[in-house]
Amino acid sequence: MKMEFSLDDFVLSPTLDKLEKCKKADLLIVANHFGVEVSYSARKADLKQTLCDQLVEKGVLSPAAAVKTAVDVALGLDVTAAEVVGASISDAGPDPVSDPHKGMTTEDLRLTLRIKEVETRKSELELQTMHLRVRALELEKRSPAPAAPMSLSTPSSVSAGFDISKHITLVPPFRESEVDSYFTAFERIAAALNWPKDFWSLLLQCKLMGKAQEVCSSLSIEQSLDYEILKKTVLQAYELVPEAYRQKFRNFDKPANQTFVEFARDKTVLFDKWCHSSKVKSLEDLRELILLEEFKKCLPERIVVYLNEQKVSSLTKAALLADEFILTHKTVFTSSTRPAYQNVPSERSKFPKVTRKSVSSSSTETRECFYCHESGHLIAVCPV
């Protein structure tokens, strides 16, 4: 049983299939609803083609619908023309006896002319179909592409919909006194809010100030957009390198107003920063770090500075570079090289010797006691 046409159903979900099933009266109703001007005396095929074109321009139907409708109309015209030619041929009946001297008969000429007209019409319809396809492609380019559903698992989809202006206020303010802890806090916030890492450097540059902003402006555009390069450059500007963390860890003492729990926590944080900046990831790396530090304690200061400039990370390489440095500067160390322990002052030599002046008995006898105001003794031996 064929269902009746429903305008509400077509408005909710307009498709070409529903339009194909419409009668001429239904097509007129659809045209009136969407404000499409059509001729009431037009044929159903022409009416459908006009309505389809207007609905495509209004964005109700897809551009492919116009092409399909035009092809259907063209095929319908071809079938109609073929039927007309077949009917003419069947009506003509058998070929009349033609006079060889006079050539083709009038009926043959008419049929040949009709066939040529049908072929010409078919070529025109094919050309019209090609124009409609070109028009459909142009409409597809004009119409906005349908938004693809965002997937939380793909970084590209997250980056495409990320509005940096809405997240700048969530970036913590930059403090030059707490540069190392600032990067840790920033990375935690960025990870918690699922910020794309491609935008980390841009968000960070909105809050930098002072020396950090100066070193950031000295970077190239490509380097400033790389978060790791930006972070490394800022830390180097504030001398937050492995040697600086080591000195902070070794020289950090407990303040008088700090509890031992707080002191232990701060000491642990400094040690972790030292290990992290030295890229310690295993027990072997930690072993090399401690041995290298102890090795540097036994070297002259110039060699230690040289090893720090070379950024050595293993004891073997440090020993080779130290020997190379001594051989290169042999004339400097031949006369002044002494064991390291001789350069360390003893505990007794740190304090100046105190010499006490002897107090003569004559001066003591003439001085007056501050407590009893009698002469002959001082307040230290006052009998009162």
Q: What is the DSSP string of 305-338?
A: HHHHHHT--SHHHHHHHHHHHHHHTHHHHTTT--
Residue 162 within any structural domain of the chain: no
Q: Which pLDDT does position 298 carry in this prediction?
A: 92
The dihedral over CA atoms of 220, 221, 226, 232, expressed in degrees to the nearest 10, equals 30
Q: Which pLDDT does position 2 carry in this prediction?
A: 56
Q: 248 and 259 in one domain?
A: yes
Q: 269 and 379 in one domain?
A: no
69 contacts 48 by C-beta, under 8 angstroms: yes
In percent, the amount of the chain with pLDDT more than 90 equals 7
Q: 362 and 323 in one domain?
A: no
pTM over 0.85: no
Q: 133 and 12 in one domain?
A: yes
Q: 326 and 296 in one domain?
A: yes
| Residues 335-354 pLDDT 10s | 555 554 445 454 444 445 44
Residue 154 within any structural domain of the chain: no
Lowest-confidence region among 13-17, 73-77, 140-144, 309-313: 73-77
132 contacts 66 by C-beta, under 8 angstroms: yes
Residue 258 within any structural domain of the chain: yes
| Residues 71-120 pLDDT 10s | 554 445 444 444 444 444 445 444 444 444 456 677 777 778 888 888 88
Lowest-confidence region among 218-232, 252-266, 357-371: 357-371
Q: 377 and 322 in one domain?
A: no
Residue 323 within any structural domain of the chain: yes
Tell me: pLDDT of 9 over 70: yes
Q: Residue 98 and residue 105: Cα distance in Å, rounded?
A: 6
Q: Residue 381 and residue 362: Cα distance in Å, rounded?
A: 16
- On the 0-12 / 13-18 / 19+ scale of CB atoms within 10 A, 384 is exposed
Residue 156 within any structural domain of the chain: no
Q: 110 and 31 in one domain?
A: yes
Tell me: pLDDT of 264 over 90: yes
Which tokens go with 8? 């509400």
Domain span holding position 209: 170-237
Residue with tokens 């404000």: 35
Tell me: pLDDT of 250 over 50: yes
Q: Residue 377 contacts by C-beta under 8 Å, 6 or more apart in sequence?
A: 364, 369, 383
3-state secondary structure of 375: strand
Q: Nearest to residue 126, comparing CAs of 82, 78, 80, 64? A: 78
Tell me: pLDDT of 243 over 70: yes
Q: 51 and 127 in one domain?
A: yes
What average pLDDT does the structure give for the chain?
74
The dihedral over CA atoms of 361, 365, 369, 373, expressed in degrees to the nearest 10, equals 180
Residue 328 within any structural domain of the chain: yes
Tell me: pLDDT of 201 over 50: yes
Number of domains present in the structure of the chain: 5
CA R_g for the chain: 49
Which tokens go with 190? 């960025």
pLDDT, average across residues 362-366: 56
Q: 132 and 44 in one domain?
A: yes
268's enclosing H/E stretch is helix 260-277
Q: 198 and 266 in one domain?
A: no
Residue 353 within any structural domain of the chain: no
Q: Residue 187 contacts by C-beta under 8 Å, 6 or more apart in sequence?
A: none
Q: 130 and 33 in one domain?
A: yes
Q: 137 and 183 in one domain?
A: no
234: how many CB neighbours lie within 10 A of its CB?
Answer: 22
Residue 325 within any structural domain of the chain: yes
Half-sphere exposure for 218 (CA within 13 Å, toward CB): 9
Instruction: Report residue 38's pLDDT band, with 50, 70 and 90 as the boundaries.
Output: confident
